Structure 1
Amino acid sequence: MIKNANPFDLFQKNFVFEEQKTKKTDLDDALNIFRSSISDVCLLWKSKVALAGEKPVMLHKDDADFSKFAYMKMASDFKIGVLVIDIDRRIADSIEVMIYSTPNAPTPNLIIKNQANGHVQLVYCLKNWLCIDVKNSKGNYSKKAHIFYKALKQHLNTIFGGDDCYHNYIAKNPFCTQWDVVGMRSSPYEMYELARISELQVRNTTFIERLQKKTTDQVTAEDLNLLTVLAGRRNTVLFHTVRKHAYGLYKKNARDWTNAQFERVIHDLACELNTSKCHPPLPKAEVSATCRSIIKFCYEKLGKYEKFTQSELSELASKCGKKGGKAKGKKYAQQRAEARKLAKRGKKATDIAKLTGLSLRDGSVNLNNSYK
């Protein structure tokens, strides 16, 4: 049989065998990476019908029955280590071609295919766990990282035509034999690596823009009890709210900001509060006048100290302290002792002030508290 076989057929069979062997190795490597990216204990469902009403089964990922369940929750209550793109259209036969032909499409670790309807799920394993516990009960939640994860997922949905409404963490179980699973990558991704490959455009905001948004959010949070400020209180509420934040902002950032930047932040904050809180809103001229008053105070009263360094301010405070207080009070110890004697003799406060050279105000205070 072998002697009569066509050499080309033998070569083709050997090539197919090697290709299948390579695919099996790639799949095993990708599944190992996936296994390390999920929680030790997972919630599992046997079918899509079970997802609707049945309670999930909780199993360890190394359990022998783990592969009998078609669906799983890929995140715990606190963290997630994968990013899943759900494509709800018939693309199972051409998804590999789409990935290779799209320049900014990162290669997924796993492709999970449902041959019944042609839908697929792309699984990207992350090198580092992402905390999704917004309550921050364990103290390791990063809002910026969570926002970055969501932005990255939305961007990949745009590239592949994924389902934007897929927000939960329940996906197909790649260990289940019900699905056709293809392993494409055996190493996990950093999120910034996915962003670079997919050409995610991150908008760079200036420090002032971020601080302005943060300040406005804080003011809004503090004034939630005042849904609207009616006529008669609008100027007062606007002035004191903006003033409170303007003083702190000026003290923190006077050395780094230009006057124009500071004025723009204060003016934008006042305009937003006026629009969102005041009913009806104040005229723009009144808002501008309020801002000018606050800014003028910052420049004149607070600004004169900004030109001094910390050592110069300490020296200035020392000089101010020498003008009065206990050091200066020792010079009048003899006059005050004489004033006490006069008070015991029944002299009036005006006479004591004239005889001792003390001021009438100081003399009267000493008389009321010490001399009698």
Structure 2
Amino acid sequence: MGCIKLFEDYLPRRPYHADDLTNGLKINKKEKAKLARLIQPNGPTHRYWMVFDLDRTDAGMHWDNVGAPAPNLIARNPANGHAHLLYLLQTPVRTAMDGKTAPLRYAAAIEAGLRNRLGADRGYSGLICKNPINSHWIVTQWQADPYTLDYLADYVDLTPEKAKQNPVEDYGLGRNCMLFDELRAWAYKAIRQGWPDYNQWLNACLDRATGYNVNFTTPLDMSEVKHTAKSVAKWTHRNFNRGTFDDYVARTHTSEIQAFRGKQKGKTKREQGIILLEAGAAIKDVMKQLNVDRATAYRWLKKA
């Protein structure tokens, strides 16, 4: 199956689209939206495509000049050569925070590395892209098969020196990670102030998430913000309430810690790191606790 057909198949059910951005974005059913020049390639909960914006006349071949992997699709502007490079992921990355966060953090690091290698535009939000279905663009398929994250990781620099410059970037998938980390840290404390009912709590989480989002250089689309806020609100409201909080704190500081330590007992440093990452620990915390460099922690992250 060609990548253009896959692009059509993976479109959101009601994507944003436009022919001219000066008239704003519209939302319609996929069958109508797919005819537009610009369209939303990924929905709010899954990332099928990594998309990079290259504003240069040689954008169609620049990836080869810098030693990047071949894009699955390139949609190029015939007027100036500027292009969007699209990389299809074999396993889509879930951006809604109701599953493991490790794959999202791993994908965010890879995406940031590829952006740096390609010299792609940091200000590109990724919400919409040049539609490879539309004949207005010059479309080239370079790679037929989707990529695994591990394969793409071979093309980026995840060494400690490079990663320390900006461990989680305010760009692309990095924004999803940052939003979740900031929101959940606030939520764990804030829910104890009045123990609101679920609808009040959801609105509070959404307000806080919206505030964090506007501080990003290029904010996330509100649909992604809403999904993250809902994930945090549901989990905290289910696990933290007036009747169970004291018990939760007690368990956290006694039996759960004992159980976790028991799980760690006799494990190698690598096994301990994977257990920590599976539990949602941040890369920097694993590095500090186990005294390892960032490259090692990222290798463990792939196994988590």
What's the TM-score, normalizing by structure 1?
A: 0.43
Residues 167 and 146 of structure 1: is their aligned pair in 2 closer, same or farther, counting only changes over 3 Å?
A: farther
> CA, structure 1 residues 186+225, in 2 after alignment: closer, same or farther (shift >3 Å)?
closer
Secondary structure of the structure 2 residue equivalent to 1:194: helix
Which residue number in structure 1 is paired with residue 158 of structure 2?
201
- Tell me how far apart the structure 2 counterparts of residues 112 and 74 of structure 1 sit (CA, whole Å): 13
Shift in alpha-carbon separation, 1:47–1:202, aligned structure 2, 3 A? same
C-alpha distance in 1 between matches for 2:127 and 2:73: 16
Q: Identify if the C-alpha distance between structure 1 residues 199 and 248 changes in structure 2 by more than 3 Å, giving closer, same or farther.
A: same
Q: Paired residue for 1:149, among 107, 119, 124? A: 107
Displacement after TM superposition at 1:121 (Å) = 0.8
Alignment size in residue pairs: 190
2:261 aligned partner: 253
CA distance in 2, matches of 1:185, 1:256: 43
In structure 2, relative to structure 1, the CA distance for the partners of 1:143 and 1:167 (3 Å cut) is farther
> Tell me, what secondary structure is at the counterpart of 2:92?
strand
Structure 2 residue corresponding to 1:76, chosen from 43, 65, 84: 43
Whichever residue aligns with residue 142 of structure 2, its letter is M
Structure 2: tracts of 5 or more residues without a match: 161-182, 193-248, 270-304
Say whether residues 1:56 and 2:27 are aligned partners: yes
Equivalent residue, structure 1, for 2:95: 132
Q: Which residue of 2 aligns with 1:265?
A: none
Residue-by-residue CA offset, 1:107-144 (whole Å, 9 max, x unaligned): 1011111132332110011122222223x3xxxx3322
Partner secondary structure for residue 81 of structure 1? strand
Distance 1:119 1:101, change over 3 A: closer
Following superposition, the deviation at residue 201 of structure 1 comes to 1.9
Return the match for 2:19 from 23, 36, 46: 46
Partners of 2:14 and 2:28 within 8 A in 1: no
Q: Write the letter of the residue equivalent to 1:156.
A: L
Q: Equivalent residue of 1:154, what SS?
A: helix
Where is the helix percentage greater, Structure 1 or Structure 2? Answer: 1
The Cα of 1:37 is off from its aligned counterpart by 3.5
Q: How far off is 1:246 after superposition?
A: 8.0
2:63–2:70 contact (8 Å) kept in structure 1: yes
Give 1:100's aligned residue: 64
User: Is the Cα contact below 8 Å between 2:15 and 2:43 reproduced in 1?
Assistant: yes
Give me the whole-angstrom Cα distance separating, in 2, the residues matched to 1:218 and 1:178. 43
Kindly state the Cα deviation for residue 148 of structure 1 after the two structures are TM-superposed: 2.0
Q: Map residues 9-28 of structure 1 onto 2, 5 A cutoff.
A: none
* Corresponding letter in the other structure for 1:47: D
Q: For the residues of structure 2 that align with 1:77 and 1:225, how far apart are their CA atoms?
A: 26
Q: Supply the AA of the counterpart residue of 2:34.
A: F
Q: Which runs of 5+ in 1 are unaligned?
A: 1-27, 204-216, 227-240, 262-372
Q: CA RMSD in A?
A: 3.7
Residue 89 of structure 1 deviates from its aligned partner by 3.1
Q: Deviations over 1:197-251 (max 9, x none)?
A: x144276xxxxxxxxxxxxx9998755699xxxxxxxxxxxxxx9xx84886466
Q: Distance in 2 between matches of 1:255 and 1:44?
A: 49
CA distance in 2, matches of 1:100, 1:199: 14
2:120 to 155, 158, 162: 162
Indicate yes or no: 2:78 matched with 1:115.
yes
The 2-side partners of 1:255 and 1:75 are apart by 38
SS in structure 2 opposite 1:90? coil
What amino acid is aligned across from residue 43 of structure 1 in structure 2?
Y
The answer to whether the Cα contact below 8 Å between 2:7 and 2:41 also exists between their aligned partners in 1 is: no
Specify the structure having the higher radius of gyration (Cα): 1
CA drift at 1:100: 2.7
Indicate the residue corresponding to 1:173 in structure 2: 131
